[in-house]
Structure 1
Amino acid sequence: MLYLHLFTALAVILFGALVGGRLAAKLRLPRVTGYLLAGLFAGPSFAGISGLPELISSDALGELAVVSNLALAIIMVNIGGQFRTDLLRRYRRRIVLFSLGENATTFFAVALGTLLVNQLLQVTVPGLTLGQTSLFLALLLGLIAMATAPAATLMVIREYEASGPVTNTLLTLVGMNNLASVILFVAAEHLLIHGTGDWLLLVARLFGPIAIGGIFGFVLSVWTQRLELRSEYKILLLGGVATCVAVSEALRLDSLLASLVLGITLANSSPRWHRLLESLRQIDYPLYVVFFVLAGANLHLETLGHIGLLGLVYVLARSGGKVAGAWIGARLGRFGPRERRWIGMTLLAQAGVAIGLANGLAESWPQGGQLVQTVVLGAVVIFEIFGPLAVRHGLVHSGEVPLLSLLQKQAPQGTLEGLHSVVHHFRASLGLPAGHQVSDPGDILVRHIMRQNVETIHNDTGYHELLRLVAHSSYDRFPVVDGENRFIGMIAYTEIRNLLFEPDLARLVVASDLITGVRLTVAPDQSLREVLDLFHRHRDVSYFPVVDPDEPDRLLGILSQNDVLAAFRRLAEDA
């Protein structure tokens, strides 16, 4: 059969993903780690080392690369969607300072480490002195180190349903990291290897992808307005991304940068961006799964034995630079303690963008590019396996992952339970008595699904600053704290809205003046049954603050009506 190797590879990829993802969940690991390991054990690298037959052949990997490229392009479009001007206005220059501090620290840590180690190893590239070789390697590896894997980060966020200020900041930083890394690397590569000549080529490489992404973004935005069916959104977006990648590749331009700009343009120009994104999420997960299994199969285990001291320094310097740089950047941007402490860990994953830059360098500068490629490929093996674990750790400890999401990953249904469910369903289909009772999800506690990382408003915040803060929030009620971070009440959006047409009065108002008289809160050990009753009695309330019953002024988290209903729905589906 002509395509037997492809069908075999797809079967191994999909069933391997199911098994790997389930085992990872059982071991309390992100499923993306299971997908990567499934691909690693099925790929040619592991087969070459172990002597076992390869389940996914090298030919199949080459032919399925188009799926990986499309999936990565879609992920870059998703990341580009975080560059909405309304979100960036909320951050103002704070996010730029955060990114600058984190990227600069990472770059200098890796560049300095590379420079010193190569002086010790005395590796030289033909045509360059030892000092020039060390400088070239330091600059290029330092710029590659800035890039963060968007795919692994996005997948972990989706798997654990992370949401909140840390998650939003993380996604924006991932986009800014990759944007800065690609642009600066292209400029540095051109100047170091080709010299100051051929400026037109440099301009084309820098601004060509931006122009392609921008043009396709505007075209898709206009086309979206003419669509009638929701299914057409999926077709249009997939077709647009594929065309953008095809044109970029045909012109030998960076397709990932073009896809990122496509997402930025769509998010800011299309009134139906959220519909596009929602329709894409209904079909993109299988693509992402295939992408990660293929990424695992493409990992080169043999490079771990070749990266040597230079590769070890790259891994350690980049890890230290990301963690320390995020702390410095958060301080510069005046972000909170959770961002300072945990975002650095969530930026450790590295894969597609870094590999693309290293592979391109190896083609244009074989003498030194192959050394950089070996270091990057070896480091990616480490960052791809341990990066998702770091992302999960940072998000969980920042308080933006509901506990119920973690509990579900720890308790998958066993084989006997699955067999029992199948028999039960088959009996029900035949009209036979069932006799199987599902436990009541109303017994779940608030602490299992509440979100701990809460955006609060200080009681002395002026009205106009308050208006700016709430304009970009998904909440309609906002917790207020005093100077000692003690919870003092909630502001309803209606109270803020009522002052919009009273400018003279608004200038005199601060947040504490708008606190509602009735203080509605829930405790972490209350059951969802009780909370649903509260939501029923207070139909105008969609969020409840969660407070410590022994210390009512201590805010523990926030509970949304959507999260409660989603918990009931998920448990009903599992039953």
Structure 2
Amino acid sequence: MSILFYVGLMLLCGLLAGRIAKLVGFPNVTGYIVAGLIIGPHILGIISLEATEGIGIVSEMALGFIALSIGAEFELSYFKEVGKTPVIIALLEGTLAIVFVTVTLLAFGYDLPIAVMLGAIASATAPAATIMVIRQYRANGPVTKTLLSVVALDDAVALIAFGFAIAVTKSFKGGSSDLLITILDPFITLFLSIIIGVLFALILLIPIRFFKKESNRICAIVGVVFLTLTLADYLGASSLLACMVLGAVFVNISKDAVPVFRIADSVTPPIFMLFFVLSGARLDVSLIPAIGVIGALYIIMRVVGKLCGSWLGSVITKAPEPVKKYLGWTLIPQAGVAIGLTLVVDQVVPEYAGQIRAVVLCATLIYELVGPVVSKLALKKAGEIEG
């Protein structure tokens, strides 16, 4: 069957499921994920596993635009207003998620490599589902603004933590001859991502300056985002971080930033819908019984770490009361970066890779289904969603 058939089917099923989700009070994104789960290869099988792999480019496109929109929130005027609050909160909630998961798994007798690896992966947060909730309900306020900055920093924290986890694991296994390179690797990745993002932000200035029609600007934005994603992947940098930096730099150096990002938002709805339906189609519910105690510990302790870390960071920075109470609950979703890191685990500790992948994939299933609903409730309790 043609890939176009599957794309059309996914869009229509996503549209219907989003409306049903809205009618019962759930965020649209939950409907998209459930739709994908039902029509995907692991339940009804209408969409085959091969088809989900064939449409995989949609995931890259969606994550690129999601990262761009997060970066667009990094206006210097905003950071002058809030100071170090998002940075401190991101460091603490990421670090405590790592510590809580790692220490708990070690206390339950699991081997150091699996505990350290899962601990590092626990720090990652998936911004996509939360961003969709914010857009759908037009959430606005201190929790929303802090959240957008924190999730943008989260992946940087996760990449660095994972680099150290690899170093610890290699040292534990006796392969420490290249320990310095292993430790430096995440910082090199971070540096490369920043350079690529800055470069393409400067490149984007050129067509935006000379082309004023929306149709031309759409072509320029899409082209630059695609090139950023491609070059970052080719050089081994983080495409997500590169696109975040692209958005962050552009919003601060261009007087046309507001209309440009408004145009970018206008082309993304079908891409985002496909992304979440596809994410649902890739989730394998049969993994749930297989993960056992280790999966339950990972899922619970990661959430506890995020809640405690965001609360502690908010207290230290004297953030507004709603941020202290509700920010942690919006940091539950986990997907892209975490799943990507499990692929690296296969190269470092292949003997644990299957178990780690099963835990992370199962956690993703639960977090992605529950996370958007919890995020909506948290933002509503914070008074940042009307109705």
TM score, norm. by length of structure 1: 0.63
Write out aligned runs for 1:157-172 (5 A).
157-172=134-149
Write out aligned runs for 1:66-465 (5 A).
66-117=57-108, 119=109, 134-189=111-166, 192-193=169-170, 195=176, 197=178, 199=181, 202=185, 204-403=188-387
**Contact conserved, 1:44 with 1:57, CA < 8 A, in 2?**
yes
The structure with the largest strand share of the pair is: 1
Write out aligned runs for 1:529-540 (5 A).
none
Q: Deviations over 1:515-552 (max 9, x none)?
A: xxxxxxxxxxxxxxxxxxxxxxxxxxxxxxxxxxxxxx
Q: Note the C-alpha offset of 1:364.
A: 4.8
**Contact conserved, 1:213 with 1:260, CA < 8 A, in 2?**
yes
Which runs of 5 or more structure 1 residues have no equivalent in the other structure?
A: 48-53, 123-133, 404-575
Matched residue count:
380
Work out whether 1:33 is the aligned partner of 2:30. Answer: yes
**Contact conserved, 1:145 with 1:354, CA < 8 A, in 2?**
yes
Percent of counterpart pairs with the same letter? Answer: 32
Between the aligned partners of 1:353 and 1:366, the Cα distance in structure 2 is 19
Aligned to 1:500: none
Q: Note the C-alpha offset of 1:106.
A: 1.7
Q: Note the C-alpha offset of 1:187.
A: 4.4
Aligned to 1:493: none
Moved more, 191-200 or 15-24: 191-200
Q: Note the C-alpha offset of 1:101.
A: 2.6
Paired letter, 2:354:
Q
Please report the RMSD computed on the Cα atoms of aligned residues, expressed in angstroms: 1.9
Q: Note the C-alpha offset of 1:213.
A: 1.9
Q: Deviations over 1:113-153 (max 9, x none)?
A: 12222x1xx5xxxxxxxxxxx33222222221111111101
Q: Deviations over 1:313-352 (max 9, x none)?
A: 0000011112222211111110121111111111111111
**Contact conserved, 2:112 with 2:169, CA < 8 A, in 1?**
no
Between the aligned partners of 2:217 and 2:60, the Cα distance in structure 1 is 20
Q: Note the C-alpha offset of 1:190.
A: 5.1
Moved more, 365-374 or 388-397: 365-374
Q: Deviations over 1:172-201 (max 9, x none)?
A: 111111221123323432563463527398
Residue 83 of structure 1: SS of its match in structure 2? coil
Which runs of 5 or more structure 2 residues have no equivalent in the other structure?
A: none
Between the aligned partners of 1:196 and 1:148, the Cα distance in structure 2 is 32
Alpha-carbon spacing, 1:192–1:276, altered in 2? closer, same or farther (3 Å):
farther
Aligned to 1:42: 39
Paired letter, 2:83:
R
Between the aligned partners of 1:110 and 1:327, the Cα distance in structure 2 is 17
**Contact conserved, 1:33 with 1:385, CA < 8 A, in 2?**
yes
Q: Deviations over 1:71-101 (max 9, x none)?
A: 1111011111222221111111233222233
Paired letter, 1:353:
V
Q: Deviations over 1:6-61 (max 9, x none)?
A: 123112201111221111111111111000000001111224xxxxxx11111111
**Contact conserved, 2:291 with 2:362, CA < 8 A, in 1?**
yes
Q: Note the C-alpha offset of 1:108.
A: 1.3
Between the aligned partners of 2:240 and 2:137, the Cα distance in structure 1 is 26
Alpha-carbon spacing, 1:66–1:30, altered in 2? closer, same or farther (3 Å):
same
Alpha-carbon spacing, 1:116–1:211, altered in 2? closer, same or farther (3 Å):
same
Alpha-carbon spacing, 1:363–1:236, altered in 2? closer, same or farther (3 Å):
farther
The structure with the largest helix share of the pair is: 2
Of structures 1 and 2, the one scoring higher in RCO (CA 8 A, sep 6+) is 2
Between the aligned partners of 2:14 and 2:29, the Cα distance in structure 1 is 9
Moved more, 327-336 or 98-107: 98-107
Between the aligned partners of 2:381 and 2:92, the Cα distance in structure 1 is 22
Alpha-carbon spacing, 1:359–1:145, altered in 2? closer, same or farther (3 Å):
same
Moved more, 225-234 or 26-35: 225-234
Paired letter, 1:322:
K
TM score, norm. by length of structure 2: 0.93
Between the aligned partners of 1:79 and 1:186, the Cα distance in structure 2 is 24
Paired letter, 1:33:
T
Alpha-carbon spacing, 1:356–1:172, altered in 2? closer, same or farther (3 Å):
same
**Contact conserved, 1:222 with 1:270, CA < 8 A, in 2?**
no
Aligned to 1:465: none
Aligned to 1:65: 56
**Contact conserved, 1:224 with 1:270, CA < 8 A, in 2?**
no
Paired letter, 2:274:
V
Residue 225 of structure 1: SS of its match in structure 2? helix
Aligned to 1:516: none
**Contact conserved, 1:98 with 1:326, CA < 8 A, in 2?**
yes
Alpha-carbon spacing, 1:206–1:370, altered in 2? closer, same or farther (3 Å):
farther
Residue 67 of structure 1: SS of its match in structure 2? helix
Larger Rg: 1
Aligned to 1:552: none
Between the aligned partners of 1:161 and 1:396, the Cα distance in structure 2 is 11
**Contact conserved, 1:186 with 1:205, CA < 8 A, in 2?**
no
**Contact conserved, 2:90 with 2:151, CA < 8 A, in 1?**
no
